[in-house]
């Protein structure tokens, strides 16, 4: 979809690198609600302290014994550990050293191809495992977390290493001669046959690739992917194929879209509508699945009785079987604060014994099949920590990320605007 002719130039103050003042959240949590949310956030952050390798700092994909490290989970760890240090949930000096260790490993030890990390690596050696691909989206999520951490420690080795990692990535190479960014590359077979060609979590990848200080992708890449639109319950939504809530969350854990427009699309409002659609979609099946209720919802990619699946709602595939992922509702808190807080308290108060542990909520449950996950997933704990930090602590992750030169450059190059159409 080409939109160049429809876009307007950024206002002078934005081009000058100044920040705008987005609207505040309409919901203020009660003292009890805030206490529970803070406990969930703190416990979820604990995953990244305990499940990161002591030698390299690389973070395990899951709490399952033998799990390799995940590059995306390690990215969430970098931001989450910075948050934990800032709140003194861990010793601030320990947090800083943990981040330094992780970035040093990423810079000097972790296997990569032209700057793109492999999806899964051995947590101790940094070598590729499971025949995984050099992944564009997982590298982007790692980088987003690294750049957030750099903003917590400006002018330090953390800042320096994060930008070194950024500057060595050859974003143009990952386009493989096309107008789109490829999903990945394998040494055995070359580029994957799949490209980031439609709306989902790709926005964080697009922003970092277009705004990159070296070898960026051309701004026209922003117009090359499809904004597929459909409706559910009279809500018009630019939707992801799976309809999984994480696809509406990941980019916006970092990018503040509340006052940012892509022609006539506001992606924050789009995620709000998609979250409400997810909530309403699950409610429509209350008579079929025991776990679905006004306070128990959240359809997103997660573990389930039959393994990991891309659960979701309409518009999209709408795959569901009664499995609910608590992280999905909790991490939607910036979009649907009332519904998300109600779900958070419901899960915490009613399913605490079966679902809650040292690192907060385990991944998912299914009442129909009497199934409760016994695992944590790093990416799911990470999105909880960051979204709660934005909601509870004055948008701090958004503010730090939006100050980055690369993000300001992406905004300028793609002619995003700060006034509604």
Please state, in angstroms and rounded to a whole number, the distance separating the CA atoms of residues 233 and 230.
Answer: 10
Please state, in angstroms and rounded to a whole number, the distance separating the CA atoms of residues 7 and 111.
Answer: 40
Sign of CA dihedral 285, 288, 293, 296: negative
Mean predicted confidence (pLDDT) in 5-34: 54
Bridge-based pairing state of the strands 116-117 and 112-113: antiparallel
Q: Are 324 and 290 in contact, with CB atoms under 8 Å apart?
A: no
- Looking at residue 16, its pLDDT comes to 32
Domains of the chain (ranges; CATH) run: 1-19+51-226+403-421 (1.50.10.140), 229-395 (1.50.10.140)
Q: Are 397 and 254 in contact, with CB atoms under 8 Å apart?
A: yes
At 251-277, the pLDDT tens digits run 999 999 999 999 999 999 999 999 999
Q: Are 137 and 196 in contact, with CB atoms under 8 Å apart?
A: yes
Percent of the chain with pLDDT over 90: 92
* Neighbouring residues of 34: CB distance < 8 A, sequence distance ≥ 6: 392
Please state, in angstroms and rounded to a whole number, the distance separating the CA atoms of residues 141 and 269.
Answer: 22
Give counts: helices (H), strands (E), the chain: 16, 16
The DSSP annotation for 86-116 comes to HTTSS-HHHHHHHHHHHHHHHHHTS-EETTE
At 361-383, the pLDDT tens digits run 999 999 999 999 999 999 999 99
Helix (H, G, I), strand (E, B) or coil at 333: coil
Which of these ranges, 12-21, 177-186, 409-418, has the smallest mean pLDDT?
Answer: 12-21
- Looking at residue 334, its pLDDT comes to 97
Q: Are 61 and 129 in contact, with CB atoms under 8 Å apart?
A: no
Measured distance between the N- and C-terminal CA atoms of the chain, rounded to whole angstroms: 18
The DSSP annotation for 155-207 comes to TSHHHHHHHHHHHT--TTGGGTTSSS-BSEEETTTEE-S-B--BSSTHHHHHH
Please state, in angstroms and rounded to a whole number, the distance separating the CA atoms of residues 301 and 322.
Answer: 13
Q: Say if residue 5's pLDDT is above 50.
A: no
Bridge-based pairing state of the strands 360-361 and 365-366: unpaired
Q: Give the burial string for 84-101 (b: 16+ CB within 10 Å, else e).
A: bbebebbeeeebbebbbb
- Looking at residue 26, its pLDDT comes to 77
At 83-104, the pLDDT tens digits run 999 999 999 999 999 999 999 9
Q: Say if residue 335's pLDDT is above 50.
A: yes
């Amino acid at each position: 979809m080409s939109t160049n002719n429809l876009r307007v130039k950024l206002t002078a103050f934005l081009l000058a690198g100044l920040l705008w003042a987005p609207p505040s959240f309409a919901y203020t949590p009660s003292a009890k609600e805030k206490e529970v949310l803070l406990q969930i956030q703190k416990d979820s952050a604990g995953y990244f302290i305990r499940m990161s390798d002591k030698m390299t700092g690389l973070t395990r994909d899951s709490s399952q014994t033998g799990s390799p490290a995940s590059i995306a989970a390690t990215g969430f760890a970098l931001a989450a550990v910075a948050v934990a240090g800032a709140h003194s949930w861990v010793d601030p000096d320990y947090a800083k050293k943990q981040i330094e260790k992780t970035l040093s490993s990423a810079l000097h030890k972790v296997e990569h191809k032209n700057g793109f990390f492999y999806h899964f690596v051995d947590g101790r050696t940094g070598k590729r495992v499971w025949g995984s691909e050099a992944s564009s989206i997982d590298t982007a999520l790692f980088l987003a977390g690294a750049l957030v951490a750099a903003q917590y420690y400006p002018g330090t080795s953390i800042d320096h290493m994060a930008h070194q990692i950024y500057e060595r990535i050859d974003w143009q190479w990952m386009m493989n001669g096309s107008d789109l960014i490829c999903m990945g590359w394998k040494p055995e077979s070359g580029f994957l046959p799949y490209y980031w060609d439609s709306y989902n979590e790709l926005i964080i990848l697009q922003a970092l690739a277009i705004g990159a200080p070296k070898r960026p992708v051309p701004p026209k890449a922003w117009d090359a992917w499809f904004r597929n639109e459909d409706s559910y319950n009279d809500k018009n939504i630019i939707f992801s194929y799976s309809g999984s809530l994480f696809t509406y969350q990941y980019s916006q854990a970092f990018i503040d879209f509340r006052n940012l427009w892509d022609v006539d699309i506001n992606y924050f409002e789009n995620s709000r509508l998609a979250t409400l659609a997810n909530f309403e979609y699950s409610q429509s099946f209350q008579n079929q699945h025991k776990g679905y209720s006004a306070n128990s919802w959240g359809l997103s990619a997660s573990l389930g009785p039959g393994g990991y699946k891309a659960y979701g709602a309409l518009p999209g595939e709408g795959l569901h079987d009664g499995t609910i992922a608590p992280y999905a509702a909790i991490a939607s808190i910036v979009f649907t604060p009332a519904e998300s807080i109600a779900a958070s308290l419901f899960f915490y108060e009613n399913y605490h014994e079966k679902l809650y542990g040292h690192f907060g909520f385990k991944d998912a449950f299914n009442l129909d099949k009497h199934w409760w996950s016994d695992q944590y997933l790093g990416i799911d704990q990470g999105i909880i920590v960051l979204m709660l930090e934005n909601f509870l602590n004055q948008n701090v992750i958004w503010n730090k990320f939006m100050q980055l030169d690369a993000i300001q450059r992406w905004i300028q190059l793609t002619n995003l605007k700060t006034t509604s159409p």
